[in-house]
Structure 1
């Protein structure tokens, strides 16, 4: 192993970073009393920057640290992974037993936005620090924040581990390799922009023959349509980003040719086709990422696929159920989580009645006389049909025996 460290001073703790040189290759570093920064390559494929931070307790000095780190972001432009003790929270919900300190929170959030970092949600616990005294104070001042490239390249989860001797709990960031089984079918709105999509769905639905009752037939038809749509998506709709990039490259090559010579008629026609295709594919990309991220496109300026890709990854991190507690028992494995969820909803929608009530007996018609006194009178079926016929102008009743009463 290799390491870098900053010694402690008095009650102020030090910093230590340890890594395996066969996995991480160090290319450069920078450090002072409050942080260790080193850049390198992970498995010869992913260049990134790691920061180990210990922010001061004084809010004014802490803001100076934020300014230093913002400047370092331009010097070390590779994707950042920054973690440690920031001695600051992002909102009032991240602490218990403290007075308000809005200025420090505002400066901390502005720093995160300037560095374009994503704060990973913590699983397993809510707070990371406790003063362990009679009047307990809790807060989440330890965290790990990532640049968007991390979220695009890796599926990472942040766990808060048990707090033992220290007043801080350890944080563990790891790749989520749990198998959640087949993914549910999702309809992509951008499919509707393809000219062949409506006729494909209609023909597939008509050509599908199934047996059984109406409900069973509908279920089987939807299953078969889903399989057909998956195949159509891969074979016909294709990879939008790949097709868009290829069209942009070809269009750019034609633009370069114009600078050297006049284009042939066929080349001019091809360029018009490419421009139209680029416009349609760009619109498809916009629809697709807008749907995945659930962010209003019109409120966020021009097309920014990277931003929406990150938003979609963050939404997935927030929404997924990674751990549940049932009667005090913690479940982390996908199979047990799905089983407990199934049992919960099965219990909610199970009837306790052994026998359901049924309607029967003589039907009665309630009328009100001129003095608004209720009269309960029994009628036979023949008398009811005669009364309906009379009220409808002696017209014959409809197929169900009733018209308008």
Structure 2
């Protein structure tokens, strides 16, 4: 159901533009229409609205601007509109959908052209947000961008204006509504060589909107005769995706009554080969946990409001009779019960949100709820256009050598299985006992039970437009295997992942970035002579565009790794690169920068410095094995033994040229 249509019409008085607004209203069938930059006097507004659609009611911000810049039109048969506030840059009503009786707040925005004037708008938005406790959507032309990626190359954006806009969004807890279509909504209409684009028009929502309308999305449509794209907001009904797979929850650890139930289920004698025994035991454990969770543990979402009400009731009685010792003891017990249930809820939401880097301590349930809702909203595929299929043609020239093939197919040892198990996060995999025999059984017999080989097919957006994918060619399918093999004290062991780890971790290679993206590989080294950092930036063809090899005074290797990344990012910024993929062979540096692990306090200054650099580019970071990071490794070790320098591209040393050639050819390196 489409509910809002928004458009910066750039002066509405001409017949052609009024006709286009009429077409927008009729084609979208939206009961609300938000127009910006109308520039028509008050006495002309009624005639213009009548010409557009005689059944619509309207409101303009004429109390603040002689030529109203913002209009809101609505269908009184479908919505009720109550104007709560307005200014020279927005109209803020409460909307009630008469058919469903749903209500939300709508802010129709037209930001001024100058940063100083827009600061007044940001202040007004923060004032509005301080009292809002219901779904809120802001839509229109903000005349500001949030990131450098929201503009075309060569277009100059004032950094302070962008910082002001982002600061306002953070203070108001606003996020972009999920969108389809091309989000660079404005163009200057110049010739192709001088044309510039920017995302000036957008829809922002608060976390309550996410909770009430998780499947809402915005569609960017062609601008037509204006220089701004039209935006249409739709509400989508939630559909059932079938039963969810079983998942072990960390909050169950706190209840000691779980352990006997699981031990009893695990102790059942099963006859058959090792993998069959594992599968059947896990089924029994899952069934036992399900019964225990329903009959004994209880539902946290029901228990928490009940515990809160009980605590309030006891505290109200204690306020009336503060000297009553029995009520005091009851208050202590009820408070402990509330805190216990609250901790369970926080554990559950942390697990669902997959935010591992947040420090333990204060309860962060509201934050985790917001992360879960935002993730669910972001992962929805709202619509998809057909695009020509893409085919990957195998290269017959790339083959494994006989030695590599023999190494890959040799027998898997118990030690390799043990290393594969312990390489997975302790919160995601149990120890190797009881599973080693099942894994070795697979490699010896070559058979995998269907219960283990269940696969989910998921579409992952890829490419420069990954934030707003709308075509099938912008997605890549990912096979998520397999059914989680659960064990009662830890969770989410995936046997298939072990099988893959035991084989594929023996080899690695350097992977080029996608077109339009650049890759930075960095490394650091320490020797008796001193320390050094090195890095190289390459394009999607694998060609080097910048190299550095710098001598550094001795220090912690971790700090040097972060310093190398900062140096590479600074070089990328100087080259005008805004889309950067960073790879390093330090798992500690990668985990600290992507916030999957909390860095030690003495390294926080280095991490914060790196984050400040990364704020200026669109970036992602990942780990690379040392053998595939040979180019950066060579540059960092080179600077330890000779004076560091930035290496001109036309003077690349022969050893480095050999490494780059092998990387470009897709050579597979054997891990040592």
TM-score by length of structure 2 reads 0.44
1:190 to 239, 251, 268: 251
Unmatched tracts of structure 2, length 5 or more: 1-30, 41-66, 391-455, 461-471, 481-495, 497-672
Cα offset for 1:152?
1.6
Alpha-carbon deviations, 1:339-394, whole Å to 9, x = none?
99997759xx9xxxxxxxxxxxxxxxxxxxxxxxxxxxxxxxxxxxxxxxxxxxxx
Q: Structure 2 vs 1, CA of residues 45 and 216 (structure 1 numbering), >3 Å: closer, same or farther?
A: farther
Secondary structure of the equivalent of 1:156? coil
Alpha-carbon deviations, 1:270-306, whole Å to 9, x = none?
4443233222212112212222223358559732422
Cα offset for 1:55?
1.4
Structure 1 residues 146-155 or 237-246, which shifts more?
237-246
Correspondence for 1:29: 84
Relative contact order (C-alpha < 8 Å, sep 6+): which is higher?
2
Cα offset for 1:199?
1.9
Q: Indicate conservation of the 8 Å contact 2:261/2:288, yes or no.
A: no
Q: Indicate conservation of the 8 Å contact 1:128/1:160, yes or no.
A: no
1:145 to 204, 207, 210: 204
Is 1:113 the equivalent of 2:170?
yes
Q: Structure 2 vs 1, CA of residues 137 and 192 (structure 1 numbering), >3 Å: closer, same or farther?
A: same
Secondary structure of the equivalent of 2:105? strand
Is 1:199 the equivalent of 2:260?
yes
Alpha-carbon deviations, 1:55-90, whole Å to 9, x = none?
122222222222233334446664421011111111
State how far apart, in whole Å, the 2-side matches of 1:4 and 1:261 are. Answer: 56
Is 1:55 the equivalent of 2:111?
yes
Secondary structure of the equivalent of 2:182? coil
1:292 to 328, 331, 352: 352
Alpha-carbon deviations, 1:188-207, whole Å to 9, x = none?
11111122122222223334
Q: Indicate conservation of the 8 Å contact 1:70/1:114, yes or no.
A: yes
Secondary structure of the equivalent of 2:246? coil
1:311 to 371, 385, 394: 371
Q: Indicate conservation of the 8 Å contact 1:180/1:335, yes or no.
A: no
Cα offset for 1:227?
4.4
Q: Structure 2 vs 1, CA of residues 315 and 195 (structure 1 numbering), >3 Å: closer, same or farther?
A: same
Correspondence for 2:160: 103
State how far apart, in whole Å, the 2-side matches of 1:226 and 1:172 are. Answer: 45
Correspondence for 1:130: 187
The CA RMSD over aligned residues, in Å, is 3.9
State how far apart, in whole Å, the 1-side matches of 2:146 and 2:476 are. Answer: 35
Is 1:274 the equivalent of 2:334?
yes
State how far apart, in whole Å, the 1-side matches of 2:152 and 2:172 are. Answer: 28
Q: Indicate conservation of the 8 Å contact 2:78/2:97, yes or no.
A: yes
State how far apart, in whole Å, the 1-side matches of 2:380 and 2:293 are. Answer: 25
Unmatched tracts of structure 1, length 5 or more: 350-405
Q: Indicate conservation of the 8 Å contact 2:457/2:478, yes or no.
A: no
State how far apart, in whole Å, the 2-side matches of 1:211 and 1:169 are. Answer: 66
Secondary structure of the equivalent of 2:82? strand
How many residues align structurally? 341
Q: Indicate conservation of the 8 Å contact 1:210/1:221, yes or no.
A: yes
Secondary structure of the equivalent of 1:96? coil
Cα offset for 1:239?
2.2
Correspondence for 1:260: 321
State how far apart, in whole Å, the 2-side matches of 1:116 and 1:60 are. Answer: 22
Secondary structure of the equivalent of 2:267? helix
State how far apart, in whole Å, the 2-side matches of 1:345 and 1:304 are. Answer: 32
State how far apart, in whole Å, the 2-side matches of 1:336 and 1:291 are. Answer: 20
